[in-house]
């Protein structure tokens, strides 16, 4: 084992140690300045990003840890979302979180480490542990305002449904293990083909395993009908955590899904394998997610709930690219998540800042924001329009790619559903813009975000516009990352 | 003989689990769960998973369920009434759902095609199959990486649980 | 297999003995309940509230840390058994494992939850 | 070749960024300078490019600049490039030219508005998006502009958001447009996966190889594209947003909802003529929808009292004309009408804006009248525009309208029925436009005393653009004088390189096409002009000479009433035979078809979705067990469906 | 010799009972215990497969799953304590401040 390139683990190890360091910092320093912790968390994430650029590409532990392009791509998304979540937390960290500030940041980093491990996992056990390592800190983070009834309720709901889904996922994984005799995803693929070749069929047991795994990962993705927890948890959890949940945690689910299904069970994505076709299952769930998410979002009055339903719908769009199960499909999913990172984190950051100032999450209280804080109203509009998929913002190119992949793979009906529901989605996104811009009420609130929050917003806006007009670099990278699946 | 042990343990395990969810008193639930898990451990042993079977008792009965008992004591739940406001229909639907679920599982499991070598009857296991040493060897060589990940997970559990369970006001006063 | 079967037999015998004694006691004991039996003995005060008092919160954190280290111990046990075969490499692994968990202990200690006031 | 093409959209973008970033921190002079200047520069560059284009030999008249690769990946390359060919040249000149005039006009019109800076920011963004739309060298980039103009339209319709109706109208426009966009992008996907490209050059070259003539795929694709066009260009069934869009400032109505944005659909179809010619059934649909819209909207316009609504319905009707032209494969005629329409309709809107400005916001024609005496320039220019739209010979509208009528009659795709309906619509157009003029500028001053005192001609900033547009409305048509009148139709010839789908008959076309003689053409031309003149006289009779008649007839309820006033009997008859059905039909169409049917269906859909939304919310009971149950039920149902089938 | 499907069906039964506990019980603690039952049902399936495949990877899996379960239980129970302090009840149906 000496010839192994251990250095590819450095980013993860560094981030883990940095999380410990932040705990230590919080415990060690007497005069507690919350900003130091926040900045050090951001610094740690930045350094991890740099380390990631240096140490990557390789396999460790007989393929259990794969530092391939897909993993790297998604790790950047995780680090980005954690960075932005930390950045938008400064205000609440100094006001609302009076205890355990170090833990707050540390747990975000822990969860990020979990996601990073998860995205590198190409083996079921590691994948499951990575999943838990991602989720358990998030349970705690969701309930971090311990005195706030909503927050604790959110944490509890997340925990119970999460544990439930985790059990279902485990059962699915156990069936997969039983059917293939291995926990390694690539071996799994080979074994299944062998069984298929020798028996001519695999039988419906595999579909049971698939559905249970879909359900387990569907929880993380908040895919309909496994989405019920999402609106409540999103509403109750501290807003930066909600943002992190909606981007980081979802991206983790996406990459886990890609690893298991697109890599391991790719052979069953086609119509040829009709009864075992997971593509059609996921396609139906994605359609349901788009319809339900978008329609339910219409009548929401709380911005976090609205964004929760919106993110349910968004994952439906992502899944359109996923079911395509092609190089373009996976690349479009990656690109979509990348843009979604900016748009959603940005929107939630505004919501955080706004909530700090006004204590309200009601959409109605955004009335006239364009007059007092024109810049932030413009930012918010850009985020929402990107989510709605208006060109030339990033969301458009993302949706376009995803739909193109869907049509290429023959899921025309799904793309039609997606397009129709995106018409609906525009209504509620535009509604917020309307409230901000076209409201006769005299606004009183002026928001002044802290420097890191400003930075986060700026990064998001630039990201959306830049990568919307020049999607090239990201898309190329995503395409390269999709190549690892060898379609 | 084997079959008899299986059936007895199976009935105890399933019955214990069933009784657990039917109990009003959570302490009784915990005890039934322990019963169920012990029966499950017997089945593990029957499946030559000696080491894991004993772990099941140590970890679950010895640690996790003790934790449950502590919480029950801590919360002092005696007064709590879980009166059902929902109509019977609701309960009926849910039970139907679970029964359907179980039937689906059974039907599909019966139709499952497995890799050739595990078709119907089990082959004789090697004598040390499932023993401490082979499992340990596997764990500390092949699965070394998930093992280390587990330590991070446990650390997170400590931190998370301390954050959640600690009373913050006391701490603040103590620090001043 | 067989040695474990012995354990199983012990288990059942143990349970059986306990149940049997209960059953036996029921057979032989006189059954004569009356009210005075339930009253306080001699000058004792009548109890206030229930006997199920709320435990102190700290019990939970101790139990929690116990659980985590119980799991750690379980990881140590097979390690110790197989150590002969595994060698130095496994030692390093285990040191990492323990160090990580020790940080948890250190954290709990610094947070003051281990102090019994 | 030196790259200058990208400068055309760049200037408005810079203007937008400057005004947007320093919003509220610049004084009005500077804002107007930046806004007008940027568009003016675009126009100048456009003009320069236009002459450069003309200097090229006829069949290589296309300048393409690829700035960078937008979406690069294997077979999925989409470049970010601009294409300047005759078609986009005309569009660029119209957009930047008319846009520039309207910018200048707006400086006067919006002078006292608190949202002055915001207004010009949006306007510049709009020009940028519109120029991107017309200059794009591929469909995806066109879609970017397409969405961009929709967004700006939304922002500008809701510009006076203090009025609830304004912000609602904005939202309505946005949503209805999105329905069209849905069709558009789906059509693009179909094209893309068959042709493997979205570049115009490649698509148009390869489409005839890939798609079978009249095949299902191409029909579906073009129908979907057409759906997009109906949304943007306000055709049946998606026209409902345009009348409401009049809530925006009048210059916006002039620029976006008359001259430029709404014509994007026509432009798109003309651009895709190769594809549409491959799908004859789509062409029929386009022609029928176009002519039906023209008729419906003209009928509705007859009975409107709001000056801007009349113009709005008139716009819809004229757009219908353009689509009819496209539907009968007379794409050049459609674009020709697009151009002349841009001139005179912008003029009409700006003129009406001038009127509204003078009347302190009054838009109801029943409270106008007699303005001829007070607003000379406005009156004259407005009258010219009305003559143009009515199709009086010598003005631009005549040439383009006549071209469409003739093509509808003579083209292979056309038919006498389309021609008849088109002619009838033309008569109605003349009628209601003159009704508008007479009600507004002639007769008694019906406004209240206070307003009357303050009647004034608009400032120079507003009247100068009016005059320029008036000149354009007159001369704009002379670039396309038909062969029959000895003109040789330069316009059509200029566009010929773009219209690859239309198989030109070459020189023989000049004499007669498909068996129709020059004599027929002339007869039809003079016939229609004569009828239009009759129609104008009718309008004159009803709204100037005998003003009381209409009102009284409307109010008359009993038959006795009519008999007593026997001297009106002829008028009565007249009324019963012509006016009643027309006005009644108009009101019917407006109240029933427009408001109830189409609006109702759309609103009903919105309400339905809203109710479903409320219902879906109820599922979220907040109870943990419910969530777990749904989770499990999901698993059970999916397994049940997929595994056990 | 016990045929393999027996074990699997038992594991399915336990899994279903666990699921029933989660969706039927109102007591958070019992819900949580039901989840433990579900995890152990999965463990039983893994052990069964392991035995029949004659490889021990599954044992390691179960071993780690138990550790994970312990971690999850620790956090979960702490959360239950917190919500009990917060609301004075552990009745799952009472936590519906957020809905719709």
Q: What is the pLDDT of residues D620-645, one digit of tens each?
A: 777 888 888 888 888 898 888 876 66
Q: Which residues of C touch B140 (CB under 8 A)?
A: 78-79, 82, 86, 90, 93
**Phi (first) and psi of residue C115, to 5 degrees:** -75, 130
**pLDDT reported for residue D1:** 47
Domain containing E31 — which CATH number? 1.10.287.3510
Can the peptide bond before residue D237 be classed as cis, meaning omega within 30 degrees of 0? yes
The yes-or-no reply on D/E contact (3 CB pairs or more, < 8 Å) is yes
* pLDDT-wise least confident of A191-195, D219-223, D348-352: A191-195
Q: Do C60 and E66 touch (CB under 8 A)?
A: no
Domain assignment present for residue E83? The answer is yes
Give the nearest partner residue to E23 out of D617, D618, D629, using CB atoms: D629
C-beta separation of A263 from A121 below 8 A: no
**pLDDT reported for residue D561:** 45
Q: Which residues of B touch A19 (CB under 8 A)?
A: none
Q: Is C22 on the interface with A (CB under 8 A)?
A: no
Q: Which residues of A touch B163 (CB under 8 A)?
A: 100, 103, 140, 144
**pLDDT reported for residue D554:** 52
Cα–Cα distance between D391 and D528 in angstroms, integer?
9
Q: Which of C99, C107, C113, C114 to mutate to test the interface with A (most CBs of A within 10 A)?
A: C107
**pLDDT reported for residue C77:** 86
Cα–Cα distance between B134 and D328 in angstroms, integer?
83
Q: Is B2 on the interface with E (CB under 8 A)?
A: yes
**pLDDT reported for residue D593:** 65
**pLDDT reported for residue C112:** 79
**What 3-state class would DSSP assign to A471?**
coil
A156 contacts: CB under 8 Å, gap ≥ 6: A143, D624, E28, E79, E80, E83, E95
Tens of pLDDT along A372-408?
888 888 899 999 999 988 877 888 889 888 988 888 8
Q: Rg of chain B over CA atoms, in angstroms?
A: 22
Confidence of residue D597 (pLDDT cuts 50, 70, 90): low
Q: How many domains does chain A have?
A: 1
**pLDDT reported for residue D606:** 72
Whether the pTM exceeds 0.90: the reply is no
Domain assignment present for residue E49? The answer is yes
Residue E91 β-bridge partners: E27
For residue D514, pLDDT beyond 50: no
Residues 50-109 of D with CB under 8 A from A: 68-74, 76, 80
Which class for D11: exposed (0-12), middle (13-18), buried (19 or more C-beta within 10 A)?
buried
Domain assignment present for residue A155? The answer is yes
Task: Tokens for A176, please give them.
Answer: 């997969």
Residues of chain B below pLDDT 50: 117-118, 120, 170-176
Domain assignment present for residue A112? The answer is yes
Which helix (H) or strand (E) covers residue D83, if one does? Answer: strand D78-84
Give the nearest partner residue to E74 out of C67, C74, C75, using CB atoms: C67
Q: Do E81 and C71 touch (CB under 8 A)?
A: no
Q: Do B168 and A146 touch (CB under 8 A)?
A: yes
C-beta separation of A129 from A61 below 8 A: no
Domain assignment present for residue A129? The answer is yes
Q: Do C68 and E71 touch (CB under 8 A)?
A: yes
Q: Which of D22, D67, D71 to mutate to test the interface with A (most CBs of A within 10 A)?
A: D71
For residue C71, give how far its alpha carbon lies from the nearest alpha carbon of chain E (Å).
6
For residue E8, pLDDT beyond 70: yes
Name the most confidently modeled range: A141-145, B171-175, D592-596: A141-145
Q: Do C75 and E74 touch (CB under 8 A)?
A: no
Domain assignment present for residue E92? The answer is no
What's the rounded mean pLDDT across residues A425-453? 80
Residue with token string 């179960």: E62
* pLDDT-wise least confident of A142-156, A423-437, E64-78: A423-437
Which helix (H) or strand (E) covers residue D151, if one does? Answer: helix D139-157
Domain assignment present for residue A96? The answer is yes
Domain assignment present for residue C117? The answer is no
Domain assignment present for residue E31? The answer is yes
Residues 7-36 of E with CB under 8 A from D: 19, 22-26, 31
What's the rounded mean pLDDT across residues D314-335? 88
C-beta separation of A9 from A46 below 8 A: no
Greater confidence, D8 or A203?
Answer: D8
For residue E1, give how far its alpha carbon lies from the nearest alpha carbon of chain A (Å).
19
State the architecture of B1-85 in CATH terms.
Up-down Bundle (1.20)
What's the rounded mean pLDDT across residues D55-62? 78
Q: Rg of chain E over CA atoms, in angstroms?
A: 17
Name the most confidently modeled range: A55-59, D202-206, D333-337: D333-337
Q: Do B160 and A107 touch (CB under 8 A)?
A: yes
Confidence of residue E91 (pLDDT cuts 50, 70, 90): confident
Task: Tokens for A209, please give them.
Answer: 């395993």
Q: Do A167 and E86 touch (CB under 8 A)?
A: no
Cα–Cα distance between A220 and A207 in angstroms, integer?
20
Q: Give me the domain span that covers residue C61.
A: 2-110
Q: Which residues of E touch D623 (CB under 8 A)?
A: 92-93, 95-96, 99
For residue E56, pLDDT beyond 50: yes
**pLDDT reported for residue A312:** 93
Tens of pLDDT along A180-221?
888 888 888 888 877 777 766 666 778 888 899 999 999 999
* pLDDT-wise least confident of A109-113, A477-481, D225-229, D608-612: D608-612
For residue C75, give how far its alpha carbon lies from the nearest alpha carbon of chain A (Å).
16
**Mean pLDDT, all residues of chain A:** 86
**pLDDT reported for residue A460:** 93
- In terms of Cα–Cα distance, which of A317, A418, A392 is closest to D146? A392
Q: Is C76 on the interface with B (CB under 8 A)?
A: no
**What 3-state class would DSSP assign to A392?**
coil
Residue with token string 């354009």: D472
Side-chain-facing half-sphere of A102: CA atoms under 13 Å: 19
**pLDDT reported for residue D564:** 41
Domain containing C24 — which CATH number? 1.20.58
Tens of pLDDT along D247-262?
888 888 888 888 888 8
Residues of chain C below pLDDT 70: 1-5, 47-56, 116-117
Domain assignment present for residue C31? The answer is yes
Report the neighbours of B using a cutoff of 3 or more CB pairs below 8 angstroms. A, C, D, E
Q: Is C9 on the interface with E (CB under 8 A)?
A: no
Task: Please give the span between the terminal C-alpha atoms of chain A, in angstroms, as a whole number.
Answer: 31
Q: Which residues of B touch A99 (CB under 8 A)?
A: 168, 171-172
Q: Which of E86, E87, E94 to mutate to test the interface with A (most CBs of A within 10 A)?
A: E86
Q: Give me the domain span that covers residue A20.
A: 6-485
Give the nearest partner residue to A298 out of D144, D613, D643, using CB atoms: D613
* pLDDT-wise least confident of A416-430, B122-136, D84-98: B122-136
Domain assignment present for residue E56? The answer is yes
For residue D112, pLDDT beyond 90: no
Greater confidence, D520 or D44?
Answer: D44
Which residue does chain A place closest to C102, by CA atoms?
A20
**pLDDT reported for residue C47:** 66
**pLDDT reported for residue A140:** 93
Task: Tokens for C48, please give them.
Answer: 């206030």
C-beta separation of A117 from A133 below 8 A: yes
Give the nearest partner residue to E70 out of C57, C60, C71, using CB atoms: C71
Q: Do D624 and E93 touch (CB under 8 A)?
A: yes
Q: How many domains does chain C have?
A: 1
**pLDDT reported for residue D580:** 64
Give the nearest partner residue to C110 out of A1, A20, A27, using CB atoms: A27
Q: Do D178 and A215 touch (CB under 8 A)?
A: no
Q: Is C77 on the interface with B (CB under 8 A)?
A: yes
C-beta separation of D425 from D404 below 8 A: no
Q: Do B153 and E50 touch (CB under 8 A)?
A: no
**pLDDT reported for residue B88:** 59
Determine how β-strand A59-60 pairs with β-strand A65-66.
antiparallel
């Amino acid at each position: 084992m000496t010839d192994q390139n251990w250095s590819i683990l450095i980013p993860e190890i560094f981030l883990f140690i940095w999380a410990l360091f932040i705990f230590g910092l919080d415990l060690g320093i007497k005069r507690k300045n919350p900003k130091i912790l926040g900045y050090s968390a951001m610094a740690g994430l930045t350094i991890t990003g740099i380390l990631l650029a240096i140490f990557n590409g390789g396999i460790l532990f007989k393929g259990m840890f794969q530092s391939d392009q897909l993993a790297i791509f998604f790790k950047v998304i995780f680090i980005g979302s954690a960075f932005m979540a930390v950045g938008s937390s400064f205000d609440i960290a100094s006001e609302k979180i009076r205890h355990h500030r170090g833990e707050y940041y540390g747990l975000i980093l822990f969860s990020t480490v979990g996601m990073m491990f998860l995205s590198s996992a190409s083996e079921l056990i590691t994948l499951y542990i990575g999943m838990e390592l991602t989720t358990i800190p998030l349970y705690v983070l969701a309930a971090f305002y311990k005195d706030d009834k909503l927050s604790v309720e959110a944490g509890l709901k997340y925990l119970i449904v999460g544990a439930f889904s985790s059990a279902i996922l485990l059962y699915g994984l156990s069936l997969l293990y039983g059917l293939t005799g291995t926990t390694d995803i690539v071996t799994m693929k080979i074994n299944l083909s062998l069984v298929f070749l020798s028996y001519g069929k695999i039988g419906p047991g595999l579909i049971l395993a698939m559905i249970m795994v879909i359900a387990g990962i569907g929880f993380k993705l908040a895919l309909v009908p496994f989405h019920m927890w999402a609106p409540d948890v999103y509403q109750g959890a501290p807003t930066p955590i909600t943002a992190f949940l909606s981007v980081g945690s979802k991206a983790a689910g996406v990459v886990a899904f890609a690893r298991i299904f697109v890599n391991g069970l790719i052979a069953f994505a086609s119509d040829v394998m009709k009864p075992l076709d997971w593509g059609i299952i996921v396609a139906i769930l994605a359609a349901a997610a788009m319809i339900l998410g978008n329609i339910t979002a219409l009548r929401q009055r709380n911005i976090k709930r609205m964004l929760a339903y919106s993110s349910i719908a968004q994952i439906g769009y992502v899944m359109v690219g996923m079911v395509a199960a092609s190089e373009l499909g996976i690349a479009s999913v990656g690109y979509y998540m990348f843009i979604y990172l900016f748009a959603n984190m940005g929107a939630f950051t505004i919501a955080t800042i706004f909530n700090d100032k006004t204590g309200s999450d009601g959409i109605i209280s955004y009335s006239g924001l364009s007059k007092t804080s024109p810049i932030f109203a413009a930012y918010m509009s850009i985020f929402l329009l990107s989510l709605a998929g208006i060109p030339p913002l990033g969301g458009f190119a993302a949706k376009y790619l995803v739909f193109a992949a869907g049509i290429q793979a023959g899921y025309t009906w799904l793309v039609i559903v997606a397009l129709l529901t995106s018409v609906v989605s525009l209504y509620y996104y535009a509604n917020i813009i309307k409230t901000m811009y076209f409201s006769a009420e005299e606004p009183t609130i002026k928001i002044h975000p802290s420097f890191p929050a400003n930075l986060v917003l700026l990064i998001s806006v630039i990201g959306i516009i830049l990568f919307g007009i020049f999607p090239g670099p990201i898309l190329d990278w995503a395409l390269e990352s999709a190549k690892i699946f060898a379609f | 003989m084997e079959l008899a042990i299986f059936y007895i343990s199976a009935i105890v395990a399933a019955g214990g689990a069933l009784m657990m969810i039917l109990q009003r008193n959570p302490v009784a639930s915990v005890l039934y769960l322990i019963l169920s898990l012990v029966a499950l451990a017997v089945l593990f042993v029957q499946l030559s998973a000696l080491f894991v079977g004993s772990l099941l008792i140590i970890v679950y009965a010895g640690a996790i369920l003790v934790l449950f008992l502590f919480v029950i004591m801590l919360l002092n739940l005696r007064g709590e009434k879980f009166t059902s406001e929902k109509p019977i229909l609701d309960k009926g639907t849910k039970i139907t759902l679970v029964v359907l679920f179980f039937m689906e599982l059974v039907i599909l499991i019966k139709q499952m095609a497995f890799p050739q070598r595990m078709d119907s009857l089990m082959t004789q296991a090697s004598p040390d199959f499932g023993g401490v040493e082979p499992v340990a060897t596997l764990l500390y060589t092949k699965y070394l990486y998930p093992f280390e990940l587990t330590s991070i997970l446990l650390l997170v559990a400590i931190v998370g649980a301390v954050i959640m369970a600690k009373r913050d006001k006391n701490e603040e006063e103590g620090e001043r | 297999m067989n040695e474990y079967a012995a354990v199983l037999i012990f288990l059942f015998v143990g349970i059986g003995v306990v149940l049997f004694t209960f059953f036996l006691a029921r057979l032989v004991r006189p059954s004569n309940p009356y009210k005075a039996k339930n009253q306080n003995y001699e000058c004792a005060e009548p109890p206030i509230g229930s006997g199920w008092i709320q435990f102190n919160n700290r019990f939970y954190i101790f139990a929690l840390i116990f659980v985590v280290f119980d799991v750690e111990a379980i990881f140590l046990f097979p390690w110790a058994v197989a150590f002969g075969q595994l060698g130095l490499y496994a030692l390093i692994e285990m040191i990492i494992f323990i160090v990580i968990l020790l940080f948890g202990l250190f954290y709990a200690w610094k947070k003051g939850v281990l102090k019994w006031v | 070749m030196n790259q200058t093409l990208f400068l055309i959209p760049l200037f408005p973008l810079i203007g937008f960024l400057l005004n947007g970033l320093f919003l509220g921190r610049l004084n009005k002079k500077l804002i107007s300078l930046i806004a007008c200047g940027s568009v003016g520069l675009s126009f100048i560059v456009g003009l320069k490019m236009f002459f450069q284009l003309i200097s090229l030999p006829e069949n290589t008249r296309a300048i393409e600049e690829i700035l960078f690769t937008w979406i690069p990946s294997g077979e999925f390359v989409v470049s970010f490039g601009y294409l300047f060919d005759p078609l986009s040249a005309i569009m660029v000149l119209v957009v930047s030219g008319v846009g520039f005039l309207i910018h200048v006009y707006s400086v006067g019109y919006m002078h006292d508005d608190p949202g002055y800076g915001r207004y010009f920011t949006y306007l510049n963004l709009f020009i940028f998006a519109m120029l991107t739309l017309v200059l794009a060298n591929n469909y995806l980039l066109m879609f970017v502009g397409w969405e961009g103009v929709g967004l700006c339209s939304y922002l500008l319709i809701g510009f006076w958001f203090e009025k609830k109706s304004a912000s609602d109208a904005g939202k309505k426009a946005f949503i209805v447009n999105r329905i069209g966009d849905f069709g558009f992008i789906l059509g693009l996907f179909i094209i893309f996966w068959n042709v493997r490209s979205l570049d115009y050059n490649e698509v148009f070259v390869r489409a005839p190889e890939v798609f079978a003539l009249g095949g299902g795929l191409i029909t579906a694709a073009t129908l979907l594209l057409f759906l997009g066009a109906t949304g943007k260009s306000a055709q049946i069934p998606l026209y409902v947003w345009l009348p409401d869009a009049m809530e925006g400032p009048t210059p916006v109505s002039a620029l976006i909802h008359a001259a430029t944005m709404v014509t994007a659909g026509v432009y798109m179809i003309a651009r895709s003529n190769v594809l549409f010619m491959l799908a004859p059934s789509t062409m029929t649909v386009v022609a029928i929808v176009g002519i039906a819209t023209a008729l419906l909207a003209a009928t509705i316009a007859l009975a409107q009292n709001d000056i801007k609504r009349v113009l709005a319905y008139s716009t819809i009707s004229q757009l219908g004309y353009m689509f009819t032209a496209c539907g009968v494969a007379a794409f050049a005629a459609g674009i020709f009408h697009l151009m002349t329409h841009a001139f005179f309709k912008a003029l009409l809107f700006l003129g009406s804006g001038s009127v509204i400005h003078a009347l302190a916001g009054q838009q109801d024609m029943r409270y106008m009248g007699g303005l001829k005496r007070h607003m000379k320039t406005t009156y004259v220019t407005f009258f010219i525009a009305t003559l143009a739209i009515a199709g009086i010979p010598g003005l631009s509208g005549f040439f383009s309208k006549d071209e469409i009528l003739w093509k509808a009659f003579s083209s292979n795709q056309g038919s006498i029925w389309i021609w008849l309906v088109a002619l009838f619509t033309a008569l109605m157009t003349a009628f209601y436009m003159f009704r508008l003029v007479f009600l507004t500028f002639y007769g008694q001053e019906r406004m209240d005393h206070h307003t009357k005192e303050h009647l004034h001609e608009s400032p120079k900033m507003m009247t100068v653009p009016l005059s320029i547009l008036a000149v354009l409305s007159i001369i704009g048509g002379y670039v396309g004088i038909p062969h029959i009148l000895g003109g040789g139709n330069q316009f059509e010839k200029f566009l010929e390189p773009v219209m690859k789908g239309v198989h030109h008959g070459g020189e023989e076309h000049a004499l007669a096409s498909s068996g129709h003689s020059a004599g027929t053409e002339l007869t039809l031309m003079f016939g229609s002009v004569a009828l239009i003149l009759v129609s104008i006289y009718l309008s004159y009779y009803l709204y100037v000479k005998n003003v009381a008649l209409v009102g009284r007839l409307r109010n008359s309820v009993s038959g006795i009433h009519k008999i007593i006033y026997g001297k009106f009997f002829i008028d009565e008859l007249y009324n019963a035979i012509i006016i009643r059905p027309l006005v009644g039909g108009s009101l019917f169409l407006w109240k029933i078809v427009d408001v109830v049917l189409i609006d109702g269906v759309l609103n009903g859909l919105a309400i339905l979705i809203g109710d479903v939304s409320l219902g879906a919310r109820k599922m979220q009971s907040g109870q943990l067990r419910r969530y777990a149950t749904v989770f499990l039920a999901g698993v059970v149902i999916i397994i049940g469906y997929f595994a056990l089938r | 010799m016990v045929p393999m499907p027996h074990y699997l069906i038992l594991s399915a039964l336990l899994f279903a009972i666990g699921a029933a506990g989660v969706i039927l019980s109102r007591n958070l603690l019992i819900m949580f215990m039901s989840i433990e039952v579900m995890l152990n049902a999965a463990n039983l399936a893994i052990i069964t497969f392991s035995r029949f495949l004659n490889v021990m990877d599954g044992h390691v899996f179960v071993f780690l799953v138990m550790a994970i379960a312990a971690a999850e239980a620790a956090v979960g129970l702490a959360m239950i304590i917190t919500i009990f302090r917060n609301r004075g009840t552990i009745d799952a149906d009472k936590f519906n401040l957020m809905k719709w």
